[in-house]
Chains A and B, each alone.
Chain A
């Protein structure tokens, strides 16, 4: 029981650390699983073809995940 509680605390702290790393626009790689990263995207103009409406989209920071090759191969099987 105590081990489960400890594991839960560790997982919560792990999630917080991954988010902190992404906030700094850094990345962290988990072998065999994938890479979490914070990716900044610049502002851009978006045009809606159907209405012709143009919008200026502001810059943002995305929380992205890139699966590893091993995981992708396992899922393709």
Chain B
């Protein structure tokens, strides 16, 4: 930003882009400049393809109209912004960089001046005499905004003797947490230790009684009176073995 390139550096950049000698490029640049100059002096206008058109007015001042694509490419970072109408009831007395237009200039949809001549804008604050400044070529198509210094707000830094009022912030309050609906669990009725011990003993007795009855029934059903005893079974087995 704000770096000044010389013709040598420009030739090197072009040479690197095209992979050719920078000396050749520098010669071409000089030839192009002479060609533009000759055309400007002879015809009053000359065109640099891709850059813009140079022309002279009646006073001999040079005007430069940049190429449309070139100016759009350069202004690309700010192309999203558009002029906006301000509410007339709002007071901007504090702003000292307001400018005034003498006549209603024809504007396009984006509010940019479409007239090819330089915009007639009257600034409320002129920093220096126009006659002392160097004449500069003014482009009309790309951006009709005249140079104005940025608005700097005036801040009163005087220290007052009055005691300052300390502003205490409100106490920090944790906001209530909003929790989703959770399932509700129903707890079992509480039982004391004595009751639980009694229930355990009763359960144990009932269990033993049921087991004894079941054993008695099983033995009575599956024990046959004619069934051989254990000694008889041993004899039978011995017969088969022999």
Contacts and interface: CB of A to CB of B under 8 A. Distances in A.
B5 A14 contact: no
A47 B88 CA distance: 11
Contact of A61 (B82, B111, B143, B151): B143
Nearest to B63: A65
A75 B86 CA distance: 43
Contacts of B71: 62-63
A60 B141 CA distance: 13
B193 interface: no
A19 B5 CA distance: 13
A49 B139 contact: no
Interface residues of B, number: 76
Contact of B51 (A18, A45, A51, A57): A18
A49 B232 CA distance: 137
Interface in B149-172: 150-151
Contacts of A47: 98-101
Contact of B13 (A7, A17, A32): A17
Interface stretch (B33-41, B202-210, B222-230): B33-41
B4 A29 contact: yes
Interface of A: 6-7, 9-19, 21-34, 36, 38-39, 41-42, 44-67, 71-72, 74-76
